[in-house]
Amino acid sequence: MTYLCVAIFVTDLAQARRDIALAAESGADMVELRIDTFTDADQLRELVSTAILPVIVTCRPEWEGGNSEATDAERISALETVGAAGATYLDIELATLRRNPPPATDRPLIVSTHDFTSRPAKLGNLLIELNQSPGTINKIVWTARSIRDNLEVFELLKQRHKPTIALCMGEAGMISRILAKKFGAFLTFASLSTGTGTAAGQISVREMKELYRWDAINPRTKVYGVVAQPVMHSMSPAIHNAAFSATNYDGIYLPLLVEGSYESFKAFMETFLDFEGLDLSGLSITIPHKENALRYLQERGGEIEPLAAAIGAVNTIVIDRSTGALRLSGINTDYAAILDSITSALGIERKDLAKHRVAVLGAGGTGRTAVAALAACGAGVLVWNRTSEKAEALAQEFNGRTGQVAATTLTELIQSKCDIYINTTSVGMYPNVDASPIDDPAECFTSDTLVFDTIYNPLKTKLLKQAENRGAKTIAGIEMFVRQAATQFGAWTGKAAPRELMRTVIERKLPK
Ligand code: NAP
C-alpha cells in the first residue's frame, strides 16, 4: 500500500487538530506534522496522542529547508517526546544522524534527505548511506531539473532495499507524486487544499483522489498524458481521467511538462518510451510540440496519418505494445473535430463540404488545420490573418488540394457572403471576452450562416453572441474540444468515449 499523506505545518493545537480532521475527511491515510516552530512538549504530547490518523512527526531545520532554529539536541529531544506519546513515525534528516546518535525511541524512523536546487550529485552514495542508516524507511527528495528526473525516482523505488519515499519537487516533478503508487512508494505527500502545500509541486489530496484517480492507480495502470509547455492550465487531464473512470479503464492521464525544443521532446520520448514498468501508452501533444511530434515520428519510422503530415502537426501519439514490439503512430484529431463539428451541425457528410464556401479567420496552428481539412474535402476557402503573409503562404500551400483556397483582407472576408465562418484567432478568448474579430456582424451573418468559434474559454464568445443575435447557427469551441479528446480516447483505448460526461467536465470548469 502507498499511503496518501497530508503534510501539515503546526502553528497551534487547535489549527493542527482541525487540519488533521480535514485531512481525514478528504480521504488521507496519514498526516505529517511539521513541528518546526511548535515545540511545547505538553501540547505536542496531547496533539500526537489524540490524533485521529497515523502521524509522522518532523522538526525540520532551516538548513534542510525547514523553519526550525533549534539545535540538533533540541530537535532530537522533541522527536523523543512525540515518539513516547505514540507518534507512528519520526522523520529525521540523514545529516542530523551523521553527527548524532539516533533518537532514543521505539518508533520507526524515516531517514530523509532533500535537495532544493537540483538532483543530488552523489545520489548513489546517498542511497548506500540511507540503506545503512538506522532508519526503517528511506526518504529522498530533490527538485526536478526536467521531467526526466522522475524516471530516476521510479528507478529508486523499483530497486528499493527498504520502504522508500522518493519524490521530485517542482512542476516538472509533479508526476512522481502521482505515480508513487504505481511504483510502490511508502507514501506520497499531498496538501490539504490547492496552494497550501509544504513543498513545490504538491497537489491537494482532493485533486489527487478526484482528478488523478489515486484510488485506482496500481502497478499495471497505463500512463497517458499531455505534453506541453506550459501544461498546468490544460483541461486534458480532467477530461481524460474522468473518461477513464467512467469506463473503468485502467489508465492515468498526467500533465507532462517538456521544454519547447525538439531535443527536449526527443529526449523525453526516448527515455519515457523505454522505461520499463512505466507503460507509457498514449500522448496528447500541444503547444509547442505538435511539429516536434511529427518530426520525431518521421525519424523513428512511426506511422503518420497523411493529413496530419500535410498539416505538419501531430496532436496525438498512439503507442501500441500489443505485438511485443513498440509501434508508434501519429494522428491529428483536431482536423477531424473541426470537420465533424461542421458536418454534424449542418446534417451533411464531409463530401458535401465541396458545395460550401468557408471563411477562416486566422492562420496559426488551428487556422492551418481548418484550411487543410476543408480544402481536402473540396470546400472553397477564404483565409484572413492579421499577419497577411501567413494567410498568403497558407493559401498557396493548400490551394487546389482539393478545394480552392485564397487569402483575403478582413473587409473582403466580411463581404464575401461565405456560408460558414470559422474563427481560429485567439480574439475573444479569456480574459479578453469582450473582443470579437468581427466589428459589424450585420455585414456577414444571416440566418443561413454557420458561425464556428474554436475558442472554448469562454463557452460562449462575443462572436457567437453576435451570430446568435443575427439568427445564425453556431458551433462553440467546446464541440471541437470534446470531439478531438473523444477521438484520442478511442484511439488509445479502443472504447467508445463517454462524450456527454467529457463535455460536462469541461462545462463545469469554464465560465459561461
Ligand atoms: P496560434 O497558432 O498562436 O494562432 C493564433 C492566431 O490568432 C493567429 O492567426 C494570430 O494572428 C491570431 N491573433 C492573435 N491575436 C490577434 C489579434 N489581436 N488580432 C487578430 N488576430 C490575432 O494559436 P492556435 O493554437 O491556432 O489557437 C488559436 C485559437 O484556437 C485559440 O483561441 C484556441 O483556444 C483555439 N483552439 C481551440 C481548440 C479546440 O479544441 N476547441 C483547439 C486548439 C485551439 P498572427 O499570425 O497575426 O499572430
CA of 423 to the centre of ligand 1 (A): 8
**Res 193: pLDDT:** 85
Q: Which of 334, 340, 356, 462 is catalytic?
A: 334
**Res 11: pLDDT:** 96
Task: With a cut of 70, list the residues of the chain below it in pLDDT.
Answer: 194-200
Q: Are 269 and 258 in contact (CB under 8 A)?
A: no
Q: Is 139 among the catalytic positions?
A: yes
Question: Using CA atoms, how far apart are residues 381 and 358, in angstroms rounded to an integer?
Answer: 5
CA–CA distance from 227 to each of 118, 172, 182, 269, 320 (Å)? 22, 11, 20, 10, 18
CA of 366 to the centre of ligand 1 (A): 7
Q: Which of 19, 36, 114, 240 is catalytic?
A: 114
**pLDDT tens for residues 3-20?**
999 999 999 999 999 999
What's the alpha-carbon Rg for the chain, to the nearest Å?
A: 27
List, chain by chain if needed, residues with CB within 6 Å of any ligand 1 atom: 334, 362-367, 385-387, 390, 424-427, 429, 454-456, 477, 480-481, 484
Q: Which of 19, 36, 91, 139 is catalytic?
A: 139
Q: In this structure, what is the dihedral angle of CA atoms 473, 477, 478, 482, given to the nearest 10 degrees?
A: 110
CB atoms within 10 A of CB 273: 16
Fold match, 236-332+482-509 / 348-475:
yes
Phi, psi of 51 (to 5 degrees): -65, 140
Phi, psi of 464 (to 5 degrees): -65, -35
CA of 429 to the centre of ligand 1 (A): 9
Smallest CA-to-CA distance from 332 within 471, 480, 467 is with: 480
- Crossing angle of the two packed helices 477-493 and 333-346, in degrees rounded to 10: 120
**Res 122: pLDDT:** 93
**Res 196: pLDDT:** 64
All structural domains of the chain with their residue ranges: 3-218, 236-332+482-509, 348-475
User: Domain 236-332+482-509, what fold?
Assistant: Rossmann fold (3.40.50)
**Best residue for ligand 1 mutational test, from 229, 361, 425, 464 (most atoms within 8 Å of Cβ):** 425
**Cell triple for residue 510?**
469554464
Q: In this structure, what is the dihedral angle of CA atoms 66, 67, 71, 72, given to the nearest 10 degrees?
A: -20
User: Domain 3-218, what fold?
Assistant: TIM Barrel (3.20.20)
**Res 200: pLDDT:** 66
Give the residue whose CA is nearest to atom 25 of ligand 1. 365
Q: Are 326 and 319 in contact (CB under 8 A)?
A: yes
Class of domain 348-475: alpha beta
**Res 195: pLDDT:** 65
Give the residue whose CA is nearest to atom 1 of ligand 1. 364
Compute CA 341 distance to the chain's CA centroid, rounded to the nearest angstrom: 26
**Res 510: pLDDT:** 86
